Structure 1
Amino acid sequence: MTRRPDRLTDAQQQCLVSLLARCPELAATDVHVRTFATMLTTLTGHHLEDWITTAGQSDLPGIGTFARHLRQDLAAVTAGLTTPWNSGPVKGTVNRIKMVKRQMFGRANLDLLRKRILHPV
């Protein structure tokens, strides 16, 4: 369910269709997950309010809880689903700095750490 439908093999597609036909709760979950994934990938956050309402009315406890928590910070979630900007490059840089720091823990002083971070090899 979490993979793009166009990336499923024929056998996987048939298996998914068979599973969804046997379990109505799973079929409803599939609809909610795919709709939310579409909002994520196409940056159509203006549909979020409708999705939260629909998901909250479903009898699926996990989906309903997720929707309720999204509503708590609706402005931030909507902005995240509509703007093309993200903090990925910044997080990647911070992650690299932390990795270098962990590698050097107890082995070198701050001068060497500064050189490794500012002048990566």
Structure 2
Amino acid sequence: MTYRIVQRLADAARPEDLFQGQWQNRRTKLDDFKPYLHERWAEGCTNAGTSGKRSRLTATRVATEPSAPTSSRFRTSPIAPAARPPSPRTVTGWILTHPDTLPESKRLKLKSVLAGCPELDALTRHVRAFGKMLTQLQGAQLPQWIKAVRADDLPSLHAFANGLERDLAAVTAGLTLPWSSGVVEGHVNRIKMIKRQMCGRAGFGLLRKRVLLAS
């Protein structure tokens, strides 16, 4: 008996040849659910992981049973899972990157993301317009930029625009004049770092000596 079973399995040319025996047409607990499972498969729900291990087992058994009329199609024509969407951090990096330096593949992915979200598309336009003002010293366009931002439903960007408007003259000068306080801010950060290294164990005299000797 065991030899005949082994021989039958070895001689099987197709998976369907393995489904032989008295249990082949026996009713199972899955029979009542087969129409629903076939319908869900036809609708494109082929990812068993979305429904848990029980659904994976059920879908696998139904798809491989010889009594299922579409079992061959299930095995030979699987539907590829949808591509995983990019993370918010990734999309942010694409938006903040200059369009001319963004690789073509990432540019196309960003275009696909923006096509599905009008708010994000508007945000991208405003961010890039502000970046152009910043790098090309076009501070005179700041009032128009703020007006364009308020025309869109972007509350977070509205708050940023309100902050700029509270100190409009200084921001406009910063976006127009060639001078920058970046060097001063760098020295301030360096002094703070040296102070933190001493963990509050020394006074101003030692801090002054360390700053002067470090420079």
The TM-score bracket by the shorter chain reads: 0.7 to 0.9
1:116 and 1:22 mapped to 2: Cα distance? 55
The 1:114/1:64 distance shift into structure 2, 3 A limit, reads closer
* Aligned residue pairs, count: 121
Aligned residue in 2 for 1:16: 110
Matches within 5 A, 1:1-121: 1-108=95-202, 110-120=204-214
Q: Note closer, same or farther for the CA distance 1:107–1:6 as it changes in structure 2 (3 Å cut).
A: same
- Which structure has the higher relative contact order (CA within 8 Å, separation 6+)? 1
Change in Cα spacing, 1:21 to 1:116, as seen in structure 2 (3 Å) is same
Cα 1:28–1:119, aligned 2, differ >3 Å: closer, same or farther?
A: same
Q: Distance in 2 between matches of 1:71 and 1:114?
A: 38
CA deviation map 1:33-83 (0-9, x unaligned) = 110111111110000011111111212222222223322221111111111
Q: Distance in 1 between matches of 2:199 and 2:135?
A: 39
Q: C-alpha separation between the residues in 1 aligned to 2:174 and 2:190?
A: 24
For 2:106, the aligned partner's letter is: Q
Stretch of structure 1 that moved more, 102-111 or 9-18 = 102-111
Q: Which amino acid in 2 is paired with 1:9?
A: P
Greater Rg, structure 1 or structure 2? 2
**When the two structures are superposed, what TM-score results if normalisation uses the length of structure 2?**
0.52
Identity %: 54
